[in-house]
Amino acid sequence: MHDRVESPPVAVIRRHRLEPTDNRRLATLCGPLDAHLRIIEAALGVTLARRHDSFRVEGERAAVHLTLDLLDRLYAQARESLDERQLQLALKDAGAVQRQAAPVVLHTRHADLVGRTPNQIQYLRQMLDHDITIGIGPAGTGKTFLAVACAVDALERQGVQRIVLTRPAVEAGERLGFLPGDLAQKVDPYLRPLYDALYDLMGVDRVTKAFDKGLIEIAPLAFMRWRTLNHAFVILDEAQNTTCEQMKMFLTRIGYGSRCVVNGDVSQIDLPQAVTSGLVDAEQVLAGVSGIGFTHFDASDVVRHPLVARIVQAYDAARTGGERT
């Protein structure tokens, strides 16, 4: 008996003009170098093209209609302001990513892995569509695990030749003192969350063999200067603990055929108080740069114990002076 082959969804094309014409609002809506339009494309699975105030939208029928509605609402909002964070909230409020974007499925040894929340779905799609993806948000939102899952999937599909893992060696408010052993042993404690994800996704034996063959590499952040990483999936974890100089150095290591993912939680910065976090700086400096995707997670994306989400919300409320849930 043959498996039934489903026909692909039929794409439709719609043209739409935003009225009344307002060049300032139009520029605010589209973002620097049309960065906001690229985010909408990735989130909704459509193709957007524009000529002045006229837009051409191509994709599945439901996604196209949702995009047209979103453009109208964002254009109205652009009278005041519209930054990337507001755009993400608009996509999330509409349930756009979860309802319309074709799910990204990663194949692991346990089961097929997909995003559980709109932000996770967008994060997975950005890692596939962008050379550099930056994920910012609290603990437990899946930033590290999903990045490693994408890296493993790319390696097994031969989309890249190796996985490179790095993390700044900054102590979280503790003094660990001298660490014995060779370079890998000294760095291991800082990379343990990445190892845990690899073991879960590949199994201990396969991970060990991959290290032996050079398919997975540990690259301490301080030792990455002067390197160019070609055909690699590179993950920088705990990036909130990089300095601005380290972040620039790391991001400029990316080479041909490579993917780079930067993760961090800007509420847990362990740098000296006078030092600016490279992740905070990059969020401002790189906003709108073509080829770089940003995903912002919040407490609703936490997929650990339910209490973790409530802890994140409580700390957020304490910092902003709001009420706890």
Last residue of a domain, one of 99, 129, 150: 99
- Rounded CA gap, 57 and 12, in Å? 8
pLDDT-derived band at 33, boundaries 50, 70, 90: confident
The least confident of 61-70, 102-111, 209-218, 233-242 is 102-111
pLDDT tops 90 at residue 56 = yes
- Of 65, 99, 133, which closes a domain? 99
Spatial separation of the C-alpha atoms in residues 264 and 250, rounded to whole Å: 14
CA distance 266 to 294: 14
Among the candidates 51, 70, 99, a domain finishes at 99
- Report whether 266 contacts 279 (CB < 8 A): yes
The whole-number average pLDDT for the span 252-278 is 92
Is residue 113 assigned to a domain? yes
Same domain? For 207 and 62 the reply is no
**Same domain, yes or no: 144 and 208:** yes
d(CA 112, CA 124): 13
Nearest to 303 by CA among 145, 98, 140, 144: 140
Lowest mean pLDDT among 20-34, 87-101, 247-261, 309-323: 87-101
Asked if pLDDT for residue 260 goes beyond 90, the answer is yes
HSE (CB half, 13 Å, CA atoms) of 238?
Answer: 21
242 and 283 inside one domain: yes
- Classify residue 108 by burial, with Cβ atoms within 10 Å: 0-12, 13-18, 19+: middle
One domain, residues 223 and 245: yes
Q: How many CB atoms lie within 10 A of CB 32?
A: 12
Structure tokens at 244: 């601005």
> Are residue 81 and residue 152 in the same domain, yes or no?
no
Q: Residue 58: give the domain boundaries.
A: 11-99
What is the pLDDT at residue 307?
77
Residues 40 and 112 reside in one and the same domain:
no
The average pLDDT across 77-101 equals 69
Q: What is the pLDDT of residue 178?
A: 52
**Mean pLDDT computed over 246-269:** 92
Report CA 288 to chain centroid distance, whole Å. Answer: 15
- What is the domain-level CATH number for residue 32? 3.30.1370.10
Q: How many domains does the chain have?
A: 2
- The number of angstroms, rounded, from the C-alpha of 43 to the middle of its chain's C-alpha atoms is 12
Of 35, 59, 30, 32, give the one whose Cα is nearest residue 47.
Answer: 59
Task: Assess whether 63 and 149 both reside in one domain.
Answer: no
Residue 105: pLDDT over 80: no
**46 and 183 belong to one structural domain:** no
Are 152 and 163 in contact, with CB atoms under 8 Å apart? yes
Residues 134 and 216 in one domain: yes
* pLDDT classification of 102: cutoffs 50, 70, 90: low
- Please compute the mean of the pLDDT values over residues 180-203 and round it to a whole number: 76
pLDDT at position 173 is 41
Short-list 240, 237, 242, 238, CA closest to 222: 242
| pLDDT attached to residue 219 | 77
Pick the closest to residue 54 from 76, 75, 32 (CA basis): 75
Task: Average the pLDDT over each of 5-19, 98-112, 139-153, 224-238 and give the range with the smallest value.
Answer: 98-112
Domain of 290, CATH number, reads: 3.40.50.300
